[in-house]
């Protein structure tokens, strides 16, 4: 690609990083890395009432947790800074004045109540809604009169009624009829820029070549193109990626469960998983593989394989993928990350665990790290309660009681104890009692853990030691 690709992600620091916005950031990052370009982070904090330093920090932390480092941005710096819109107000002021001087923008004195009354009138008459342009032809005398009334004008961009057509890297050719567009506000009465205006000024001044964002922004694009044309600036290439839906085919929202990166992070999902999973929402590898390393994602990503259709957020698939990534973790990292979840959950005995036993018992058994506190409880129970009626009934059968008594008999005089010895004992019990299969193994598991399914018993009994195993089995003998 001959052009130096520059993409950007421009979050507003008014809350947590939403999953949909994270997917947008990932696609910008992947495309820039695939193309040997730069990924720029810009903070759009002109909404001073809602923007907070805490939200900005949380968003940046989540991006870095996902592995999305930026080439230019806040703190990082770069030749196109500053990278916070609140520090770029002079740029917007200068460019707004140029549009005003060129007759391409004008002050509008209409109040919110007047605009709403006209909108309702348009709806009642079956007309398309939009600003009627009445302030465009105001004389200086009329402007002075309105200002003497205490009215403070916004600045509107004057829209020609020509159709706007552009090529989208995902959707192909898009045309917006000119009569769907009306003169729109580019700066508020206090001089603060509106989104479409500040976005265009920043993207141009920061030399952004590709604007990659959700398709809910398609309606903004023609307005932005008109601004590019008004300044006689070269257009970037646009790519509008499909929105993410819940499994009910409605737009992803809180009713579908977690919607922010922070929530998935806290729930024990790995950053590699989330990066991989979100990359596959509307994009796919030509190979058909779904577990893709960061290196492969960067190498294979391109917009020719981005679907035009909305993507469905499949939590079951995410859980499966996270389980796959957990299996691939180094045991030392699994131990370190897992202990953090135990500690944060208030689990007091986590210091008694070691890397090998922890990995052996749980790494193959969990899909999220947040499952570990509940699963690790079995390691430190002094007494056991069967998890349900079925488990309680099973340990009371004649076969189960035979197994328990035989277990106590065969282990009574033992001096050493490990997984191999345990397996020899169970083999002897099977031969002696003729109880086998589920009827042999599950009673022992329930006696030791209270659960009908769980980690490898030979490894579990090694951690428990002989004395504890005998004590727990003794408690279920009738």
Report residue 43's pLDDT band, with 50, 70 and 90 as the boundaries: very high
Domain stop point among 322, 346, 370: 370
Across residues 417-428, what is the average pLDDT?
95
Residues 364 and 337 in one domain: yes
Percent of residues, the chain, with pLDDT higher than 70: 98
* pLDDT tens for each residue of 71-119: 999 989 999 999 999 999 999 999 999 999 999 999 999 999 999 999 9
Same domain, 226 and 118: yes
Q: Are residues 98 and 197 in the same domain?
A: yes
Closest of 471, 465, 463 to residue 353, by C-alpha: 463
Domain assignment of residue 53, yes or no: yes
Same domain, 129 and 50: no
Domain finish residue from 209, 224, 241? 241
| Domain of residue 163, CATH code | 3.40.50.620
Is 95 in the same domain as 234?
yes
Structural domain contains residue 324: no
For the chain, the average pLDDT equals: 93
Q: Do residue 33 and residue 48 come from a single domain? A: yes
Per-residue pLDDT band for 2 (boundaries 50, 70, 90) equals: very low
Q: Kindly tell me if the per-residue pLDDT of 144 is higher than 60.
A: yes
pLDDT at 257: 63
Q: Which helix (H) or strand (E) holds 211?
A: strand 210-214
Are 105 and 186 in a shared domain?
Answer: yes
CATH label of the domain that carries residue 418: 1.10.10.350
Instruction: Give catalytic residues, as residue numbers.
Output: 254
b (16+ CB within 10 A) / e for 200-216: bbbbbebebbbbbbbbe
pLDDT tens digit sequence for 245-298? 888 888 877 666 668 999 999 999 999 999 999 999 999 999 999 999 999 999
- Contact (CB, 8 A) for 244 and 23: yes
From 220, 241, 262, the end of a domain falls on 241
82 preceded by cis ω (within 30°)?
A: yes
Q: Does residue 320 form part of some domain?
A: no
Select the more confidently predicted residue: 357 or 409.
409
Dihedral of the alpha carbons of 119, 122, 123, 125, in degrees to the nearest 10: 160
Within a domain: 150:
yes
* 447 domain residue, yes or no: yes
Residue 246, pLDDT score: 85
Number of domains in the chain: 4
Mark whether 20 and 111 lie in a shared domain.
Answer: no
Same domain as 153, residue 221: yes
Query: 234 with 93, same domain?
Result: yes
* Residue 222: inside a domain: yes
Distance between CA atoms of residues 312 and 245, nearest Å: 5
Residue-wise pLDDT for 177-231, tens only, equals 988 899 999 999 999 999 999 999 999 999 999 999 999 999 999 999 999 999 9
Domain assignment of residue 1, yes or no: no
**Integer Cα distance of 448 and 454 in angstroms:** 11
Same-domain check for residues 22 and 117: no
103 and 217 inside one domain:
yes
- C-alpha 379/C-alpha 465 separation (Å) is 11
Which residues span the domain enclosing 30?
6-85+244-312
In a domain, 375, yes or no: no
């Amino acid at each position: 690609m001959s052009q130096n690709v520059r993409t950007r992600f421009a979050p507003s620091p008014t809350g947590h990083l939403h999953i949909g916005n994270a997917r947008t950031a990932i696609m910008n990052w992947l495309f820039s890395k695939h193309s040997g370009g730069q990924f720029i982070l810009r903070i759009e904090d002109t909404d001073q009432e809602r923007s907070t330093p805490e939200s900005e920090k949380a968003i940046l932390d989540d991006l870095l947790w996902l592995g999305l480092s930026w080439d230019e941005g806040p703190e990082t710096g770069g030749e196109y800074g500053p990278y916070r819109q609140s520090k770029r107000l002079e740029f917007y002021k200068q460019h707004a004045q140029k549009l005003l001087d060129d007759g391409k923008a004008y002050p509008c004195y209409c109040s919110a109540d007047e605009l709403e009354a006209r909108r309702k009138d348009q709806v009642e008459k079956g007309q398309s809604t939009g600003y009627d342009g009445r302030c465009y032809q105001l004389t200086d005398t009329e402007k002075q009169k309105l200002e003497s009334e205490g009215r403070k004008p916004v600045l509107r961009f004057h829209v020609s009624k020509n159709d706007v057509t552009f090529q989208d890297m995902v959707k192909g050719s898009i045309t917006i009829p000119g009569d769907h567009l009306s003169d729109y506000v580019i700066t508020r009465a206090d001089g603060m820029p509106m989104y479409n205006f500040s976005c265009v000024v920043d993207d141009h001044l920061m030399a952004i070549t590709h604007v990659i964002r959700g398709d809910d922004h398609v309606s903004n694009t023609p307005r932005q193109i008109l601004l590019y044309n008004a300044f006689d600036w070269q257009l970037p290439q646009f790519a509008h990626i499909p929105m993410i839906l819940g499994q009910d085919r409605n737009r992803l929202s809180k009713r579908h469960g977690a919607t922010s990166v922070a929530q998935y992070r806290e729930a024990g999902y790995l950053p590699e998983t989330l990066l991989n999973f979100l990359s596959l929402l509307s994009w796919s590898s030509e190979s058909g593989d779904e577990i893709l390393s960061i290196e492969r994602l960067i190498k294979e990503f391109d917009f020719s394989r981005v679907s035009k259709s909305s993507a469905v957020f499949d939590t079951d698939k995410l859980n499966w993928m996270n389980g796959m990534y957990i299996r691939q973790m180094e045991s030392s990292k699994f131990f370190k990350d897992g202990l953090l979840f135990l500690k944060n959950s208030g689990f007091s005995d986590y210091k008694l665990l070691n890397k090998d036993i922890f990995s052996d018992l749980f790494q193959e058994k969990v899909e999220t790290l947040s499952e570990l506190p509940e699963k690790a409880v079995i390691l430190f129970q002094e007494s056991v309660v069967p998890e349900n009626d079925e488990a309680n009934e099973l340990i009371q059968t004649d076969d189960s009681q035979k197994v328990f008594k035989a277990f106590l008999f065969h282990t009574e005089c033992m001096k050493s104890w490990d997984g191999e010895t345990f397996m020899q004992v169970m083999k002897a019990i099977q031969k002696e009692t003729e109880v086998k299969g589920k009827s042999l193994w599950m009673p022992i598991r329930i006696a030791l853990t209270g659960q009908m399914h769980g980690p490898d018993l030979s490894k579990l009994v090694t951690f428990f030691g002989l004395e504890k195993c005998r004590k727990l089995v003794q408690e279920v003998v009738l």
